[in-house]
Amino acid sequence: MTSQTLREARKYEETSEKLIGKEERPDFHLTPRTGWMNDPNGFSYYKGRYHLFYQYYPYESKWGPMHWGHAVSSDLLHWEYLPCALAPDEAYDRDGIFSGSAAVLPDGRQLLMYTGVLKEHQERDIYREVQTQCMAVGDGIDYEKYEQNPVLDQRDIPEGSSRFDFRDPKMWMKADGTYACVVGNRPADGSGQILLYESADGFQWKFKSILVSNHDRFGKMWECPDFFELDGKWVLLTSPQDMLPEGFEYHNGNGTLCLIGDYDEENGSFKEMQNQSVDYGIDFYAPQTVAAPDGRRIMIGWMQNWDACGIRSPEEPWFGQMSLPRELSLKDGRLYQRPVREFDAMRRNKIEYADVAVSGVVKLDGIKGRKVDMELTVRPEGGQELYQKFAVRFAQDDTYYTSLSFRPRESILKVDRKFSGSRRAIIHQRRSLVNTADGELKLRIILDRFSVEVFVNDGEQVMSAAMYTRQEADGISFFADGTANIDVVKYELE
């Protein structure tokens, strides 16, 4: 039976969606059907299509009681909206359906696992959210909540751990047909930990181990964990809250963390070997991955930063967008990311320039647009002294632009959107240390109306940022202090 709460959400989104024009959205980044979107949920491949659910409040373009929005795609780039999948309509989840994941049952039905939220009165005017893990089963459109929810609650967490910070289950089926999941939690020291659970049937879950403990190294609470095998190692992705910066690797606030190491499945223990950021730009959080049918590991994230939600007016009909889906690989102990290969089929009208000397500002014929895939190599001009700075500006007109600038002597790449049209004093720039040999750097810059994603050195690093500059600002220009030499290949995207 569909609840009244879910019926209302479905009716509302169907009507409201019609008021948003195609040109008012990105072309190939998923946005909410209407209203608010945050974390990707239940990223999965089911019945021949990719399914992506998302944290969703249909009624306003700001955070509210969370639902699960739902979209499907055959190529990860062109999405079709399905009706809202879950609504906060039970006693144990009436204050929100938080993040979670999806798997397939042996009988072919889709299994969803999510965090149910219930506000509990503490004292005076203080309420706290009790978080439990719950299941729902469905056919890819309609889902029924498990009658014995919640399946994990405060009785299933280690002693001293918080029942108020116990969320975001990421579930997978193991080789033997049983299930496992990781959940973010906060231990007694107030820092983060990732808990591991196992289930024979996907419904009855039991605690296995504390997979990883933060010990106050990377931020505090660890949200939205994901855990998978990649190129012979195991990778844990998680999003720590309240980070302190560490050089140019980790920045203040909510960040993304990748731990690479070895996993002892029998004991449920993980041995970390390397750590790094997942995205070095301004807007990227809560990534989730799926194993594609061809074996690729594909990741998508919320292309937004909690501290910068004021960049867009709540009067707008939608807020929040997903990143480009990215193929993951490990190389030299490092996580590499590239746009999914399906993306190359969207390239049209190639324009190419080689060996262009840039000193001061240079514009090139045919290099403009807001839906663009541009490959750019910059290097010193032969026989010239190393340039001081190189920059590319885009989404540009006489008033606005967003820029990417590189200082080869410090090996620092910076994304800066302070002139993008925002009227808020939020985070507008972020810097990253990049690998460069003698001032040479390789960039792939992808624009889609309201965002930029920069893949550095064939995916060694990525920098993502949202920008809501008016669409008429479609200029692209290059600048060098000193003389730089560039190769440019630019495609329009359809």
Cα diameter, the chain: 74
335 and 350 co-located in one domain = no
Looking at residue 314, its pLDDT comes to 87
Q: Helix (H, G, I), strand (E, B), or coil: what is residue 5?
A: helix
User: How would residue 71 be classed by pLDDT, with cut points 50, 70 and 90?
Assistant: very high
Of 323, 339, 355, the position where a domain reaches its end is: 339
258 and 401 co-located in one domain = no
Structural domain of 291: 4-339
β-pairing, 402-407 vs 389-396, is antiparallel
User: How would residue 46 be classed by pLDDT, with cut points 50, 70 and 90?
Assistant: very high
Q: Identify the CA nearest to 469 among candidates 416, 402, 369, 424.
A: 402
Looking at residue 3, its pLDDT comes to 96
pLDDT average, residue stretch 336-354: 98
User: How would residue 58 be classed by pLDDT, with cut points 50, 70 and 90?
Assistant: very high
324 and 444 co-located in one domain = no
β-pairing, 269-277 vs 285-291, is unpaired
CB neighbours of residue 309 within 10 Å: 18
* Amino acid found at 326: R
Looking at residue 383, its pLDDT comes to 85
Q: Helix (H, G, I), strand (E, B), or coil: what is residue 289?
A: strand
Instruction: Say if residues 301 and 286 touch (Cβ distance below 8 Å).
Output: yes
Angle at 345 between CA 28 and CA 446, to 5 degrees: 50
434 and 379 co-located in one domain = yes
Q: Identify the CA nearest to 45 among candidates 155, 172, 177.
A: 172
Of 303, 321, 339, the position where a domain reaches its end is: 339
User: How would residue 1 be classed by pLDDT, with cut points 50, 70 and 90?
Assistant: confident
Phi first, then psi: give them for residue 194, nearest 5 degrees.
-115, 125
β-pairing, 451-456 vs 441-448, is antiparallel
Of 285, 308, 339, the position where a domain reaches its end is: 339
- Buried-exposed string 341-363: b where 16+ CB fall within 10 A, e elsewhere: ebbeebeeeeeebeeeebeeebe
Q: How far apart are CA 84 and CA 454, in angstroms?
A: 32
State pLDDT tens for residues 180-225.
Answer: 999 999 999 999 999 999 999 999 999 999 999 999 999 999 999 9
Cβ within 8 Å of residue 22, ≥6 positions away: none
216 and 104 co-located in one domain = yes
Instruction: Say if residues 476 and 426 touch (Cβ distance below 8 Å).
Output: no
Q: Helix (H, G, I), strand (E, B), or coil: what is residue 76?
A: coil
Which two three-digit tokens encode residue 242? 């309240």
Q: How many residues does the chain have?
A: 494
Q: What residues form DSSP beta bridges with 404? A: 392, 415
Tell me how many domains the chain contains.
2
* Amino acid found at 382: G
294 and 360 co-located in one domain = no
Q: How far apart are CA 377 and CA 359, in angstroms?
A: 15
CATH number for the domain that contains residue 22: 2.115.10.20
Q: Helix (H, G, I), strand (E, B), or coil: what is residue 311?
A: helix
Cβ within 8 Å of residue 280, ≥6 positions away: 248, 430, 432, 461, 462, 463
User: How would residue 176 be classed by pLDDT, with cut points 50, 70 and 90?
Assistant: very high
State pLDDT tens for residues 480-494.
Answer: 999 999 999 999 999
pLDDT average, residue stretch 299-307: 97
Q: How far apart are CA 257 and CA 312, in angstroms?
A: 26
Q: How far apart are CA 325 and CA 453, in angstroms?
A: 11
pLDDT average, residue stretch 84-107: 98
103 and 178 co-located in one domain = yes
Looking at residue 439, its pLDDT comes to 95
380 and 472 co-located in one domain = yes
414 and 300 co-located in one domain = no
Report the chain's mean pLDDT, rounded to a whole number. Answer: 97
Q: Which of 27, 39, 153, 279 is catalytic?
A: 39
Residue 439 CA, chain-centre distance (Å), reads: 30
User: How would residue 290 be classed by pLDDT, with cut points 50, 70 and 90?
Assistant: very high
Burial of 323 (0-12, 13-18, 19+ CB in 10 A): buried
274 and 317 co-located in one domain = yes
367 and 309 co-located in one domain = no
Task: Match 């720039």 to its residue by tokens.
Answer: 429
Whether 481 is catalytic is no
215 and 122 co-located in one domain = yes
Cβ within 8 Å of residue 228, ≥6 positions away: 172, 234, 235, 289, 291, 297
CATH number for the domain that contains residue 449: 2.60.120.560
